[in-house]
Structure 1
Amino acid sequence: MAHQQFQSCIDACNECAVACNHCATACLQEPDVKMMARCSALDIECAAICQLAAASMARGGEFASAICAVCADICEACGDECAKHSMAHCQDCAKACQRCAQECRKMSGQGAGARADAALGVHAH
């Protein structure tokens, strides 16, 4: 089955989606909710793309690699934001996002430096 070769990435995506959903809800319980707005918004975006990526890989979807490339970018942004906050739910989410980003980069064949290269306009041939 196609999904077995991507199981590590599927697991990372599912774990990240759970962490992001938890973090988004926990952010709404913080004393300064306004300060947590970007964190919560990125959590919601990240959870959604992680769920889509996991489902696409499980189906052996034609665009799974492209979805995982986008997922890695969103996970990195979410992880960077969560890492700025000291709450345990944010720190746990940041770790899950980092792991998911790494797995999605591997799955999509981008490698660790792909985001930096893309930001600089460098394209692999």
Structure 2
Amino acid sequence: MHQMSPEMQSCIDECLRCHSTCLSMAMNHCLEAGGQHVEPEHFRLMIACAEICQTSANFMLIGTDLHKRTCAICAEVCEECARSCEQVGDMQECVDACRRCAESCRKMAA
């Protein structure tokens, strides 16, 4: 098994937390709130964010150096998702999770 740094373990945790937050907020909060929360661009972005977060975590868990690429994309998607959630409003939990994940992924991508 590959040796995992504390920074990588922390990034995996942030990615999994963000995956869970985006997915559950999209499927529960957004679907119930309606309106801007379910506009296709916003809703797709939340699902895309959940997916890339899970993929990035998986790449780090597998132990491939390709995680640097997935983490770079993950940071971008998380930032975009955070901005979208901030704009829609009433989604601070998602904004915070996305920003933490983006910061952690940027470090892993470097």
TM-score, normalised to structure 1, is 0.78
Match of 2:98 in 1: 97
Q: Deviations over 1:24-72 (max 9, x none)?
A: 1121111426764322211100000000000100111131001100000
Match of 1:48 in 2: 51
What is the rounded CA distance, in whole Å, between the counterparts of 1:40 and 1:55 in structure 2?
Answer: 23
Q: Is contact 1:9-1:100 (8 Å) kept?
A: yes
What is the rounded CA distance, in whole Å, between the counterparts of 1:34 and 1:13 in structure 2?
Answer: 22
Q: Is contact 1:24-1:41 (8 Å) kept?
A: no
Instruction: Give the letter aligned to residue 26 of structure 2.
Output: A
What displacement does 1:3 show?
A: 3.2
Q: What 5-or-longer segments of structure 1 have no aligned partner?
A: 110-125
Q: Is contact 2:78-2:102 (8 Å) kept?
A: yes
What is the rounded CA distance, in whole Å, between the counterparts of 2:40 and 2:31 in structure 1?
Answer: 8
Instruction: Give the letter aligned to residue 9 of structure 1.
Output: C
Larger Rg: 1
What is the rounded CA distance, in whole Å, between the counterparts of 2:26 and 2:48 in structure 1?
Answer: 10
Q: Is contact 2:36-2:88 (8 Å) kept?
A: no
Q: Is contact 1:27-1:39 (8 Å) kept?
A: no
Aligned residue runs from structure 1 range 23-34, under 5 A: 23-25=25-27, 26-32=29-35
Instruction: Give the letter aligned to residue 105 of structure 1.
Output: R
Aligned match of 1:57 in 60, 67, 72? 60
Match of 2:79 in 1: 76
TM-score, normalised to structure 2, is 0.88
Aligned residues, how many? 107
Query: Which structure is richer in relative contact order (CA contacts within 8 A, separation 6 or more)?
Result: 2
Greater Cα shift, 90-99 or 36-45 = 36-45
